[in-house]
C-alpha cells in the first residue's frame, strides 16, 4: 500500500507532544511566543477602521491564522502605500508582516495553535459545559424547594383554616374574634347541657346495674355518677345550687372571667385591672330583708367573752344530711361567689367530673356489649334471673344505641372548640398562646410565599446565566473546529499532502 495514501491520525491531547517529537517545533517555543504576543499587543493599538478586523479582534485569542487574515485586509486598506517594487510603506503592514515572519520561524505558530486547540478541547469548553450542568442542577434544586415550600404553605394554611373552623372564627382579627366567641360561651354550654340529657336512659341503666351488684337502692347511693345525674335532671345550673341544693340570692361572677373579655387601649393585651380601680366586692353591710335597721358585725374586739344565742328553729334545712357548715355570722349565706358562681359545665372542677362520669358510663356500656356478645344463654340465665326488668330487657342493639348516645355527649363536651373556649375563659394567658399559635401558622405561610418569590428570582438569574454561556460554547466549538482544519491542512503540507486527522476529544464537540 502506498504510504502517501495512509492518513496521519493525531490525538488532540497529544498534538503538541507530537509536533515536538517530530521536530516541527522547538522545545523553547514558548519563549518566542512571549515576544510575538508583545508585538501583537503593540500592533493592535494602531489599526484601521474595518469591520473584518474588528470581528477578528473581538473577544478572541489572536493566533497565526488571524494574523494572516489581518494582513490580507491590510493589503486593501494600505494599498495606497505600496511602491513600484511591490513593497508597502505603511508601518501597520510592516508590523504585521514582522509578526507573521516571527510566527513562521521554527514553526512557532504550530506550537501555539496546537496548545490553543488542546486547551479548548480539554479545559475551556468542558469547563463551560460543567458550569451549565451545575447551573441546571442548582435550578432543579430551586424548583424542588419551591415545591416543598408550596406543600408547606398549603399544609400550614390548611391547619390554620381547620383551627379557625374549630374555633368558629374567620382568622382576620384573631384576638378580638376569640374574645367575641367567649361572649357566646354560655349559650354553647347551655346547648351542650341539653345534648347531655340524651344519656339519661344510660344513667338509669347504670344505676340499676349498680343496685343489682351492691344491693343498695340507686336513689340512696349518691356516689353513682353524681354530677352527671344532677346535670341530666336539673340542667346546667350554678355550682352553688349543685353543692347547696338551693338557688343563690345573688351571683357574683369571678373577676377573672370578666377581665378575660376586656382588652386594654392598644387592643393587643388583656387588661387585668392593675390600674387605680379596685374590685368592688359589695357593701360592708348585708341586708337580709328581715330587719329595718342595718346591723354591723361584732368581731369580738373586747376582751370580755360574750356569746349571742342564735335560734335556727325557722330554718328548714337539715345541716347534718346536706353536709353544709354554716358560720354563726352567716355572712356568705345565699351568695354565689368565685367558682360557685360558675355553671357546672363552666366550672373546671365540675366539668372534669362530668367528663369523667361520661367516660365511666361509656366504659360500662362497652363492657356490657362485650359480655352480652360472649356469654352463653345458660350463664346469662343463671346470673341475671334476679335482676330488674330494665336490665333483662336490654339487648345488644339497645346497649349499642345507649353507647352511641354517650359517645355523642362526650364528643360534644370534649370538642376542640369547647376546650379552646374553656381555656380562654379560665386562663387569660391562653389567649396570647392561642393567638400566637394561629399567627405563627400565618407567618409560616407568608415566609413560604417570600421564599418562593426569592427562589423564582434565583431561577430566572440562573436561566439568564445559562443563556449567556450557551452562545459562548457554540462560538468556541465553531472556532475550535476551524482551528482544527487549519492545523490539519498546515501539517498535511509538510507531509506532501497526506491526509491528517486530529482525533480524540475534538470530535466529541
Main-chain phi, psi angles of 294, to 5 degrees: -75, 130
Range 54-70 average pLDDT: 81
For the chain, the C-alpha Rg in angstroms (whole number) is 50
Query: CB-hemisphere CA count at 13 Å for 240?
Result: 19
- Closest to 341 in 3D by CA, of 216, 461, 244, 468: 244
Query: What's the confidence (pLDDT) of residue 358?
Result: 95
**How many Å apart are CA 112 and CA 118, to the nearest integer?**
10
**How many Å apart are CA 174 and CA 438, to the nearest integer?**
8
Query: CB-hemisphere CA count at 13 Å for 356?
Result: 10
Confidence grade of residue 290 (pLDDT, cut at 50, 70, 90): very low
DSSP symbols for 452-494: HHHHHHHHHHHHHHHHHHHHHHHHHHHHHHHHHHHHHHHHHHH
Q: Is the four-CA dihedral 286, 287, 288, 293 of positive or negative sign?
A: positive
CB 331 within 8 A of CB 297: yes
Confidence (pTM): 0.61
DSSP symbols for 314-363: T----HHHHT----SS-TTTTEEEGGGGSBTTTSHHHHHHHHHHHHHHHH
**How many Å apart are CA 357 and CA 203, to the nearest integer?**
10
- Closest to 270 in 3D by CA, of 418, 416, 433: 433
Confidence grade of residue 222 (pLDDT, cut at 50, 70, 90): low
CB 481 within 8 A of CB 509: yes
Helix (H, G, I), strand (E, B) or coil at 500: strand
DSSP symbols for 7-75: -EEEEGGGHHHHHHHTTSS-TTHHHHHHHHHHHHHHHHTS----HHHHHHHSSS---HHHHHHHHHHHH
**How many Å apart are CA 6 and CA 500, to the nearest integer?**
9
Range 58-67 average pLDDT: 80
Query: What's the confidence (pLDDT) of residue 6?
Result: 86
Q: What does the pLDDT look like over 366-390, one tens digit per residue?
A: 998 888 887 544 445 445 556 667 7
Range 449-477 average pLDDT: 95
**How many Å apart are CA 306 and CA 154, to the nearest integer?**
77
Q: What does the pLDDT look like over 274-288, one tens digit per residue?
A: 444 443 434 343 343
- Closest to 272 in 3D by CA, of 260, 280, 254, 284: 260
Better-scored residue on pLDDT, 301 or 92: 92
Query: What's the confidence (pLDDT) of residue 291?
Result: 38
Residue 355's contacts (CB-CB under 8 Å, 6 or more residues apart) are 410, 413, 414
**How many Å apart are CA 266 and CA 143, to the nearest integer?**
43
Helix (H, G, I), strand (E, B) or coil at 501: strand
Please state whether 106 falls in left (phi above 0), alpha (psi between -120 and 50) or beta.
Answer: left
Q: What does the pLDDT look like over 110-139, one tens digit per residue?
A: 999 999 999 999 999 999 999 999 999 999
- Closest to 270 in 3D by CA, of 407, 176, 164, 170: 176
- Rounded to whole angstroms, what are the CA distances from 197 to 348, 349, 402, 416? 20, 20, 12, 21
Mean pLDDT score across all residues of the chain: 80
Range 141-160 average pLDDT: 95
Amino acid at each position: 500500500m502506498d504510504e502517501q495514501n495512509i492518513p496521519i491520525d493525531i490525538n488532540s491531547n497529544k498534538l503538541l507532544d507530537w509536533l515536538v517529537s517530530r521536530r516541527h517545533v522547538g522545545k523553547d517555543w514558548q519563549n518566542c511566543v512571549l515576544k510575538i504576543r508583545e508585538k501583537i499587543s503593540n500592533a493592535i493599538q494602531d489599526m484601521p477602521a474595518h469591520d473584518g478586523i474588528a470581528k477578528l479582534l473581538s473577544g478572541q485569542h489572536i493566533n497565526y491564522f488571524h494574523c494572516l487574515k489581518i494582513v490580507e485586509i491590510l493589503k486593501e486598506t494600505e494599498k495606497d502605500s505600496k511602491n513600484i517594487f511591490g513593497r508597502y510603506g505603511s508601518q501597520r503592514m510592516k508590523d504585521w508582516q514582522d509578526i507573521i515572519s516571527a510566527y513562521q520561524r521554527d514553526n512557532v505558530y504550530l506550537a501555539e495553535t496546537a496548545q490553543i486547540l488542546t486547551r479548548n478541547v480539554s479545559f475551556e469548553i468542558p469547563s463551560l459545559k460543567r458550569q451549565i450542568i451545575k447551573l441546571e442542577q442548582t435550578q432543579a434544586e430551586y424548583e424542588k424547594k419551591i415545591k416543598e415550600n408550596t406543600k408547606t404553605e398549603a399544609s400550614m394554611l390548611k391547619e390554620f383554616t381547620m383551627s379557625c373552623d374549630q374555633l368558629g372564627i374567620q382568622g382576620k382579627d384573631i384576638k378580638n374574634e376569640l374574645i367575641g366567641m367567649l361572649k357566646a360561651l354560655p349559650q354553647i354550654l347551655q346547648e351542650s347541657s341539653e345534648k347531655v340529657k340524651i344519656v339519661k336512659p344510660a344513667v338509669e341503666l347504670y344505676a340499676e346495674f349498680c343496685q343489682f351488684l351492691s344491693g343498695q337502692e340507686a336513689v340512696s347511693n349518691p356516689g353513682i355518677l353524681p354530677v352527671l345525674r344532677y346535670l341530666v335532671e336539673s340542667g346546667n345550673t350554678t355550682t352553688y345550687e349543685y353543692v347547696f341544693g338551693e338557688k343563690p340570692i345573688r351571683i357574683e361572677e369571678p373577676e377573672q372571667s370578666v377581665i378575660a373579655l376586656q382588652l386594654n387601649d392598644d387592643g393587643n393585651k388583656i387588661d387585668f385591672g392593675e390600674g387605680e380601680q379596685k374590685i368592688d366586692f359589695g357593701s360592708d353591710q348585708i341586708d337580709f330583708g328581715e330587719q329595718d335597721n342595718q346591723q354591723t358585725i361584732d368581731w369580738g374586739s373586747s376582751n370580755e367573752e360574750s356569746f349571742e344565742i342564735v335560734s335556727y328553729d325557722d330554718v328548714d334545712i337539715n345541716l347534718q344530711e346536706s353536709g353544709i357548715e354554716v358560720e354563726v355570722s352567716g355572712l356568705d349565706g345565699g351568695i354565689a361567689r368565685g367558682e360557685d358562681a360558675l355553671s357546672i359545665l363552666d366550672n373546671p372542677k365540675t366539668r372534669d367530673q362530668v367528663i369523667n362520669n361520661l367516660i365511666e358510663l361509656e366504659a360500662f356500656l362497652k363492657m356490657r356489649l362485650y359480655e352480652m356478645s360472649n356469654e352463653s344463654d345458660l350463664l346469662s340465665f343463671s346470673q341475671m334471673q334476679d335482676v330488674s326488668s330494665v336490665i333483662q330487657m336490654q339487648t345488644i342493639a339497645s346497649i349499642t344505641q345507649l353507647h352511641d348516645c354517650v359517645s355523642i355527649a362526650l364528643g360534644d363536651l370534649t370538642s376542640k372548640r369547647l376546650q379552646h373556649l374553656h381555656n380562654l375563659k379560665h386562663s387569660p394567658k391562653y389567649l396570647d398562646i392561642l393567638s400566637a399559635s394561629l399567627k405563627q401558622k400565618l407567618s409560616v405561610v407568608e415566609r413560604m410565599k417570600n421564599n418562593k418569590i426569592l427562589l423564582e428570582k434565583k431561577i430566572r438569574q440562573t436561566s439568564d446565566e445559562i443563556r449567556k454561556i450557551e452562545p459562548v460554547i457554540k462560538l468556541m466549538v465553531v472556532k475550535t473546529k476551524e482551528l482544527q482544519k487549519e492545523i490539519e491542512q498546515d501539517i498535511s503540507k509538510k507531509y506532501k499532502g497526506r491526509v491528517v486527522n486530529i482525533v480524540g476529544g475534538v470530535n466529541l464537540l
